Structure 1
């Protein structure tokens, strides 16, 4: 039996910016679509069927530390065992493969909050999704909760806080929200923008500008800012006059795509107004914390995905297109493929369909595609 590593081990190496060599034995088309990225990770793709007759063709130093990866962990274990027999000394199998990697959540502390408490970013490294955990004086709120709600529950227990509020910045199309399920489990309140909730089949509390959400007794206040563009209801938040949570409207290296409800032409004007007018009125010192990232280089020190708003207005190409028709063309023409099963994911998040857990995992497979490509 070959030695194994967990997704936690890989995540910690990426966040610590440590070198790691990965041998990905999935088919090349699967590898090209989606792979482990970040930090000083180097990945070699050699499909499993090419190695059935032996691993001698691998041009890898036998004393290198190597992690073998496949879709679910079975084929990679066989390859790892073959490599050990061939004299590779530090070869490991990734438990659960890319399926497990897609679900791993790594909490990263963003900073302390006024009056006590802290803000954490949960980085879903295998999917590019980001969620946020606010804890203050025994209470917690989670923004853009992922489907894997156990991770947040465990974190809340470790911090000694009770989860009170579950908030989605918009109706997600690339991943299944865990907000409503966690709210039901812990007796918390689930918040959703009403303009994104016209077809939902469940009760929710409407996110409306001017109706702040208080977490704890230390007045950690979240201010909804109605900021349409990615969806018609997309909502941003300011926390402590210091942090700007932008949902899928603004990312570190790109901007949100307005087409995931088939409304690119209709919503591109809203997107421009939010980015070029509403956000422009805010302080340059606000730290932008998005709901997704698309590129490994967006992972900063300690695994944080964040940037000051003023810096983004200088460096983010999506914020520097002066001509409105050129902006419209960029946003409607430079769109990556739609996320995997995005229509089914939207319907799940509306409560219209209730797929089994394994089906939900399959629906979420593949990379995040919520940004406009440059």
Structure 2
């Protein structure tokens, strides 16, 4: 074998020298630049071919699917490190007393449909009507009263937006006219500015043959006539009026706080606290759309508010009912049903 190293100013000259000295069958081993010149290393012997690498065996060859899956999913095994941990003696936390639902607790304690609550309620309701002595009995004592709502010379309807205040005001008028023949309630719906849209309360009033007053809120106190038992006033309070403004016209009036069924107990607590100074009674609206829960009634009971009405349906007549103990019992029996809990 003959191996030579040729140096030239460029690659072409170096290749010509290799061709001259070794012929056309020469093999170039390497080409590089060194000290400003091109250095070519060539030989007359062909290089030996490199042996091909052995074929790679697939990792799944000869293995079951379970073995391959286990190898890919299990974490790598690392050697255990010696543990030099000083363990302290474990101190057990004091055992918490079992939860007992009570409508006296803040927001009712939110009893929820826990197994213990359901078991206690089942036993209590099984004692028969009038013999209950637990959560249900406490709830009824705090929510119900012997004084029927809707008898005052002035009734003020308050509540959050969308709770059904205007519909409740119209229903109150229909209830008064149904219970006392010849009575013509006066519906008053204060407004903060000129009416620019349709007035649905005016439409309901026309259906009953009643007029509706729409005074400006800023002039309400000065223009509001004295309450008259023969022409009871029903005032639909707009959202722009706060409890202080309502208190100025609420002397001797009955205040009805509208709350839609299905409201979160926290929101119930917020609304009852907001209007607490006016000692409102509660009208639960849309009770046909949502089965009242123990949490809702407990939140009302813990606020010291009593129930005035349940509102159902979409009409005006026979849509307000005054809840009785038997109505609360039917609700409580529904809490024991899997359907009421969404399990069926």
TM-score bin, normalised by smaller chain: under 0.3
TM-score, structure 1 normalization = 0.26
TM-score, structure 2 normalization = 0.28
Greater Rg by CA: 2
Which structure has the higher relative contact order (CA within 8 Å, separation 6+)? 2
Structure with more strand by fraction: 1
